[in-house]
A = this chain, B = another copy of it.
Amino acid sequence: MEQAFVNWLRQQTRTHPQLRLGLGDDAALLAVTPGRELVVTSDLLTDEVDFVLEKVAPQRVGRKALAVNLSDLAAMAAEPLAAIVSVALPESRAERLAHGIYEGIFDLADEFQIPVAGGDTNTWPGKLVISVTALGQTTRKGSLRRSGARPGDLVLATGQFGGSILGHHFDFTPRVHEALLLHRQYDLHAGIDVSDGLSLDLSRLAHESGCGAALQLDEIPVSDAARQLASADTSATAIDRALGDGEDFELLLAVPPDSAEQILRDQPLDVPICCIGQFVQQHGLWTIEPDGTHRPLAVQGWLH
């Protein structure tokens, strides 16, 4: 199906001022704005692990495959430029599936005004696999990395956490615009997006920065979905779910106190942003107890 499908894709995909050559040659050509760095991230999603194709529309699967990558660009405060999409389609229903998947991808790509600039469409005897590589570029302020947090910085978080399995893990909005706005208007030291769990990803950010982080548990915004799951299954509390469920695709940011106070006062985003803790010198993850002391917090999350 490759040639007919490539023809269909070529008709569907949008242009972009920096895309110099899209689908149809051996490779795509992109112009990166002079003085900016190219930002590249890639995620591969498989049936039965990241989604269950029997239970979900292919549009939502395609959307998710792009969205998780845009979330990684957001974590670096990068402007999205293009997506490269490769799929291994089960041969029994390849064409119908492909159209659904790409519809979901194109809807989100249009929202963020990026083209699908390349990829590889395959059929095979196995189940569905989607691999997306997202390309972006840094802004004039440079990139936001995991390694810039300093003890004393506050931990700011967008949105709510936990229970994404009830639907949010498909329908979340990657925080691209939020990250770009915050990075442009405020002083940020480091950032990460929460894919594997708030506590696990926060511990990664702290580790890369050579420090620790202490969380004010009662300040963590717990989603309704997390509460709903906790009341149906008492093996995990709502806060445990907020700390460990993953696929929230919210931003965790390390922000110096002055800048953090300004952000919290301004609330400049369409989504709430709040302070859930502070980076500390002592490595590891901690809770801030009512008396101000720190206690070790077990890292929860989704280790692939």
Contact = CB atoms under 8 A, between A and B. Distances in A.
Contact of A304 (B41, B118, B122): B122
A48 B143 contact: no
A125 B82 CA distance: 30
Contacts of A125: 48-49
Interface string A91-106: 0000000000000000
B84 A40 contact: yes
Contact of A46 (B24, B43, B122, B145): B122
A31 B21 CA distance: 20
A268 interface: no
A221 to B, nearest CB: 21
Given A48-B125, A72-B26, A146-B26, A303 B42 contact: no
B44 A40 contact: no
A40 B146 contact: no
A260 B138 CA distance: 42
Interface stretch (A73-81, A224-232, A284-292): A73-81
A40 B118 contact: yes
Given A46-B88, A84-B40, A84-B133, A29 B138 contact: yes
A119 interface: yes
A107 interface: no
A207 to B, nearest CB: 10
Given A84-B42, A131-B44, A75 B27 contact: yes
Nearest to A124: B46
A47 B41 CA distance: 24
Contact of A25 (B47, B127, B208): B208
Contacts of A143: 21, 29
Contacts of A217: none
A136 interface: yes
Interface in A262-304: 303-304
Interface of A: 1-3, 20-21, 24-32, 34-35, 37-44, 46-49, 72-73, 75-76, 78, 82, 84, 86-88, 117-127, 129, 131, 133-136, 138, 143, 145-147, 191-193, 208, 303-304
7 contacts: A28-B40, A31-B38, A46-B88, A46-B129, A49-B124, A123-B304, A131-B131
Given A31-B38, A42-B119, A49-B123, 17 more contacts: A26-B193, A27-B41, A27-B75, A28-B41, A29-B38, A41-B118, A42-B86, A42-B120, A43-B86, A44-B87, A44-B120, A44-B122, A44-B131, A46-B122, A46-B124, A48-B125, A86-B131
